[in-house]
Structure 1
């Protein structure tokens, strides 16, 4: 009798036993209850039993013999092994534990998201190999080793193979709380956190074994505190008093207020010094990329993962490890330290793909929400609702200003600030003027000619491009432009270039610089913005406060584009608060002013509506989906699968890069296509139809809008702009 195979070179028995042993260790390290641990062990032990079908074994043998063409022809007819495993795991879980059927749901969905249509077309009864009986006997022996009492299941397991799995899934009736359910319905209504944990353990164990990694320690941080302390020593630094205090609070949730340049990140890492896992969440891809590089230097490249919309590209470009494992482990937060956008966490809370692994691993981590002040009310509402029943024990919320309203919104066991000396710093000399920034170009050029590094911040891309052109005409020194409408490759290059700007450089930027770039320029010229945004802009000038107060000139007259970007009334109120500050304010004055602004903002009807909408959206999606993963083919659900309410954007390919895109495709380097894409407001595609057309070859829209690496994508003419929108 031929040996049953899990892979061409791996026996099915060996694979199941290896995954089960790893699942047992993972359950322990992730702190699963005894009941969940046993269910996870059962799921791991039985998850691939369905590979003992005749067609799957034939498929394995063809691959092993190098007959790939025949194997490809056979593959579509191979009965799904997760479905073929259903009868065995369900019967065993029912007899040993009863409902809820968490192991059953995990096994059924271990290769595909759990959903209402999963395997709905596979009505046949799979044909099993004779060796299945012997394999079941072996696996039951392993189950007996973890159970005090064990019924005689062997006969039932050998007979249940005759039932078509879909019949069991769809037609069997179960009574619960006076209602009748199919098995599929019971799986949907199971406890979400229990299902998530059992499935996460199963899949993590399966992925680790398949990647040849037999040690669950791959997922956990060892000696994290020592790594941070070594980081201080290598830089000949000693932790500040507030950083040491943070390190003593590692078993509590923390709210931290620390000004820019005071060592906030190091304080958070010391707080997480005893953590077995760290998930560090930030608002933008640029901030995540920068923190990813920073933490790799502290903890080691192999310990740090990256998760955001373009993470696969970054990992493909930089990693020398097993790329498939690196991408997968990073995307599900499985690395000991993960740096991600907050969107990745919230999409998991909305039951996006891999939500089970992301939430399970987040719950076992020290979870950091940095720059918490920067999120819109809808996003804060999502987060508030997500954390209501979040089982994680260790959360940290941090910001330079951290308004009291956010402290009330996200209460923690401990609140602390950096030392008073950081809040008494006077790093900037404020010069608010009631003019347009455009009227002040000679002063900007004069500062650059004196050898100063000059930062100029506009509120819209359109205005930034205009100012950049005017400065280039009048100044022969280096002038750079940075905003969101560069192709990804150019944006990465610009991030590196502006960090190392030489004396006499002028950097023109939009608000993307606020939380994107770790730079320290000499003087600031900025349009008026909300007060908390101005604090972030100031943080890019005289960052460490090592020099005398740097001039920061704010222009309180702004165009219509700025008024579209920010909520009604917030600019006027920010101007009033700004003008009441000292000429050379202490950091504490900024904190107090931002507090006053936030107290007013949260009372507005628009804030409350958006905040409650975020909470309601997450609540309703969870109630609708149960244990299902969101189906983005459902138009109504897709419309609500968003973490921010602003104008949605879509990535397009500038026509000027079309030839290069074809070259990448021909070279089988399609992963690099992201280098050539640029985001635009999605309404542009509807309104400016002549400038965009779909490409079936690349699965995206191509734009005829002009593009150059100095200015980025140019804006279409304003003709036909719909009411309520602004070309910015």
Structure 2
């Protein structure tokens, strides 16, 4: 009897190609997973998970299910036959008995969990922290009966590997685990090892299935060495910058930028570590960090460079700058990938049923490009979030260079879990991390601290550099009563009498829109070009506006831009005057970096104002509210003591004080407390301290080596509290992508289309999705797994418009 893993795909003549045999799928997946696992010298552990992941398909029940599905897909219910439990149970039965060594038992737990969870939304909890002593893992591998278990084992050991060879293979995996454990600092690292194995088996399974459906199952190849590629990229960027510097004026600012870029270049000779790049705002950190990353990647044989930025708005500008420096096409995604979000919504089936592979589950969001730009949300989701689409790419963060641009933006509740991941990547994953910002947060001063490398600051003589980069004066307008937006509008009009351009940055999108509308109703709209910027616009829309703003400023035309904080990070614009609503001191420093950025004039003013609560509600933005309170306190202290911090609000001493106060206030929040529960997610990565309480409650020793709760972590983890969904918008080329996704696409075409469509997406809250759906302004695509806006729900002026008063348009040229 031939055992089938996947039915052959239908051809144009309604005939099927040959089926994929189960033994071929298991052995092919083993080969892929071994290659991925070798990134941590865990090739056998990852290969073992892949070898056993679909063993349950050897049952007659599953083979009957496959045959029925081939005849009539509607006659069977997806996931109705459990094929994931058998492999985990086999490993547990053979290697988790009293006669087995501790390392064999731990192997059975780590690898077994990846097997039984490979069609679930996360690894199972070894211990459910919301119970006394329940183990969802044990419920599967020890308690749940597996129908035809003896037949499954017999077929596996007959078709795939003999019992003797299998045991030898397992012992190779045990030896890998023994070596690894000596490197780990605590049990939290074992949680991340489990996630790594899970990532390898998910990617191996999905990749092999996708290649089979494309008729390319035998064509898989591991990533080749990229040393020569990065060396060539480095030479190209250096030549580009040298040519650029020749055309730039020899100002003091530009000389300092060149000096810092050279220091970063020389620092690239350092070994793998956790480093800091504290270039002042406007100091050219994008190119300086790129030079470091390319040279370091070439010297240390890294596989990829990943830029992690705080907002999607930074992705498109930095990626565009990088492509230009490398001489790449503007729309290139194969060499420089922009990853804004998961366009496809993950679908899982409740309970223990498996979600069979479908086209959208198979496409590769694995970050296999050489250079990747993504957000902090996507980075942290890769390690902690629910769903297999994010964790599938985790293994690709090993042996890499990760640049955290504006690292101060890590949400407070995520700090401990962020630090844990960065420490793991550096010490175990051989990944170099660079904390890149003008306002370094005190991540080494919190309880679960970041392990910075010794002498790890790239920029020498930082105080003198910071002093030389002072181009603005902070003017405190926050004392006294808070301002209404009407008061702020009047203030803007007063400044506009003597200013060519003004940037106003507010804390909420609603405040930005209201001020824009207020100013648009005045005579200013006749004298100035007014621009509204917010994350209601897709990335391509914002990038076009940034380009237009740059041209207007360069041509000396009069301009007033009203924006949310998206313009503060990584956006290379220079205004004559900036007004910033009070927020965290790091945000004020970033806003100041958009004023007199290139030292075009003598020191210019950045006005800090306090907006009334009625006009700028921060109820759902607690971190901004807390940062605002600390900043206002610092400003009040400086009013009382003029010599405090040498009278400089943005001095390194003031910023250090701000972050220490902020983290002290939020210390209890840094371990990710879960609202409306007693849980904190950071401790759930280990839970070893719970052994005593479990024994006291049950009078029994905990039967497992591990206690971590990956399922619970995934259930509650969200970088941003409000759940959002990614939606395609009909802006410019986005309309064509929507049309394409409304048609018939192969998996390969779908993969490339979704990558190209990334800049034409926005993230919407659940209530917005509901409201738009009721108004008939949403268009479901591809079996309802992709959502798109109708043209009436998107406008040139505001982006997404809930009123449905948008429409198809051609972007105007300023």
TM-score normalised by length of structure 1: 0.71
1:575 aligns with 635
Indicate the residue corresponding to 2:506 in structure 1. 458
Which SS does the other structure have where 2:242 is aligned?
Answer: coil
* CA shift in 2, pair 1:220/1:708, >3 Å: same
Q: CA deviation at 1:412?
A: 0.9
SS of match in other structure, 2:681:
helix
Q: CA deviation at 1:559?
A: 1.9
**Whole-Å separation in 2 of the counterparts to 1:485 and 1:397:** 28
Partner of 1:725: none
- Where do 5+ consecutive residues of structure 1 fail to align? 151-187, 314-322, 717-728
Q: Determine whether 1:607 maps to 2:666.
A: yes
Alignment of 1:265-304 (within 5 A): 265-269=286-290, 270-271=292-293, 272-273=296-297, 274=300, 275-295=302-322, 298=326, 301-304=333-336
Instruction: From 675, 680, 684, give the equivalent of 1:617.
Output: 680
Deviation at 1:536, TM superposition (A): 0.6
Contact kept in structure 2, 1:437 and 1:525, CA below 8 Å:
no
Distance 2:562 2:534 in 1: 9
Distance 1:11 1:642 in 2: 39
Contact 1:62/1:71 (CA < 8 Å) preserved in 2?
Answer: yes
**How big is each residue's C-alpha offset from its partner over 1:516-536, in whole Å with a ceiling of 9 and x where there is no partner?**
633333432333443321211
Give the Cα separation in 2 of the matches to 1:147 and 1:378: 39
Equivalent residue in structure 2 for 1:16, among 12, 26, 36: 26
How do 1:648-659 residues align onto structure 2 when only pairs under 5 Å count?
648=722, 650=724
| Residue 630 (structure 1) aligned with residue 711 (structure 2) | yes
Q: For residue 113 of structure 2, what is the aligned residue in structure 1? A: 105
- Report the secondary structure of 2:598's partner residue: coil
Alpha-carbon distance in 1 for matches of 2:588, 2:418: 24
Find the aligned partners of 1:327 and 1:50 in 2 and give their Cα distance.
20
Pairwise CA distance, 1:328: 5.0
> In structure 2, what is the equivalent of residue 511 of structure 1?
565
Q: 1:533 aligns to what?
A: 587
State the Cα deviation string for residues 187-212 of structure 1 (Å, max 9, x = none).
x9995344333333333333343334
The secondary structure found in structure 1 opposite 2:334 is helix
- Deviation, 1:417, is 4.7
Give the aligned partner of residue 609 of structure 2. 556
2:596 maps to what in 1?
Answer: 542
1:208–1:541 Cα change, 3 Å:
same
Structure 1 pair 609/190, CA: closer, same or farther in 2 (3 Å)? closer
- Is 1:205–2:204 an aligned residue pair? yes
1:632-651 deviation line (CA, Å, top 9, x unaligned) = 9xxxx85x423356xx3656
1:600-654 Cα offsets, whole Å, 9 max, x none, are 4444xx333333555972224435795664369xxxx85x423356xx3656999
Instruction: Tell me, yes or no, if the aligned pair for 1:378 and 1:611 is still in contact at 8 Å.
Output: yes
Mean Cα deviation higher: 6-15 or 573-582 = 573-582
- Give the match's secondary structure for 2:497: helix
Deviation, 1:372, is: 1.8
1:235 alignment partner, SS class: helix
Distance in structure 2 (CA, Å) of the matches to 1:50 and 1:364:
34
Partner of 2:719: 643
Deviations along 1:151-210, one digit per CA (max 9) or x if unpaired, are: xxxxxxxxxxxxxxxxxxxxxxxxxxxxxxxxxxxxx99953443333333333333433
The residue aligned with 2:375 is 341
Distance 2:208 2:802 in 1: 50
Question: Cα deviation per residue 1:512-559 (whole Å; 9 max; x = unaligned)?
Answer: 2212633333432333443321211122233333x2236334043532
Conserved 8 A contact 1:488-1:678: no
Supply the RMSD in Å over aligned alpha carbons: 5.2
With 571-580 and 501-510 compared, the bigger mean Cα shift is at 571-580
Give 2:693's aligned residue: none
Over 3 Å counting, the alpha-carbon distance change for 1:404 and 1:202 in structure 2 is closer
Alignment of 1:415-434 (within 5 A): 415-418=456-459, 422-423=465-466, 424-433=468-477
1:174 alignment counterpart: none
Residue matched to 2:285:
264
Q: Which residue number in structure 2 is paired with residue 42 of structure 1? A: 48
Q: Tell me if structure 2 keeps the 8 A contact 1:282–1:342.
A: yes
Q: Quote how far apart the aligned CAs of 1:255 are.
A: 1.7
**Correspondence for 2:657:** 596
Corresponding residue number in structure 2 for 1:241: 262
Q: Which residue of 2 aligns with 1:163?
A: none
Correspondent of 1:232 among 233, 238, 258 = 238
Alpha-carbon offset, residue 243 of structure 1: 1.2
Is residue 316–residue 759 contact of structure 2 (8 Å, CA) maintained in 1? no
Whole-angstrom CA distance in 2 between matches of 1:576 and 1:190: 44
For residues 441 and 190 of structure 1, what CA distance do their matches in structure 2 show? 52
| CA distance 1:362–1:2, shift in 2 (3 Å) | closer
Matches within 5 A, 1:62-461: 70-74=72-76, 76=78, 79-86=81-88, 88-90=90-92, 98-100=104-106, 101=108, 102-112=110-120, 113-115=122-124, 116=136, 124-125=147-148, 132=155, 135-136=158-159, 138=161, 143=166, 191-210=190-209, 211=211, 212=216, 214-217=220-223, 223-236=229-242, 240-269=261-290, 270-271=292-293, 272-273=296-297, 274=300, 275-295=302-322, 298=326, 301-310=333-342, 328-330=363-365, 332-350=366-384, 352-354=386-388, 357-384=392-419, 386=421, 391-393=428-430, 394-403=432-441, 409-413=449-453, 414-418=455-459, 422-423=465-466, 424-433=468-477, 436-446=487-497, 452-461=500-509
3-state SS of 2:456 partner: strand
Structure 1 counterpart SS, 2:435: strand
2:181 maps to which residue?
A: none
Q: RCO (CA 8 Å, sep 6+): is it higher in 1 or 2?
A: 2
Judged with a 3 Å threshold, the aligned counterparts in structure 2 of structure 1 residues 17 and 598 are, in CA distance, closer, same or farther, namely closer
For residues 691-702 of structure 1, the aligned pairs below 5 Å read none
Pairwise CA distance, 1:247: 0.8
Q: Which runs of 5+ in 2 are unaligned?
A: 9-17, 125-135, 174-186, 246-257, 346-357, 619-623, 688-705, 745-749, 804-814
For residues 714-725 of structure 1, the aligned pairs below 5 Å read none
Q: 1:189 to 1:398 in 2, by over 3 A?
A: closer
Contact 2:341 2:726 in 1 (8 A): no
Mapping for residues 655-674 of structure 1, pairs under 5 Å: 667=742
Partner-residue secondary structure (3-state), 1:216? coil
Counterpart secondary structure, 1:368: strand
Candidates 490, 513, 517, aligned match of 1:469: 517
Q: Could you say what secondary structure the match of 1:367 adopts?
A: strand
Aligned to 2:578: 524
C-alpha distance after superposition, 1:221-262 (max 9, x if no partner): 764244233212133258633212321224222122111232
* Deviation, structure 1 residue 362: 3.3
2:727 and 2:762 in contact (8 A); partners too: yes
Residues 5 and 706 of structure 1: CA distance in aligned 2, closer, same or farther (over 3 Å): closer
Change (3 A) 1:140 1:339: farther
Q: Is the 8 A contact 2:581 2:608 kept in 1?
A: yes
Given that residues 706 and 714 in structure 1 are in contact (C-alpha distance below 8 angstroms), is that contact kept between their aligned partners in structure 2?
yes
SS at match of 1:107: helix
Equivalent of 2:532, from 465, 481, 489? Answer: 481
Q: 1:626 to 1:334 in 2, by over 3 A?
A: farther
* Structure-1 separation of matches of 2:344 and 2:78: 28
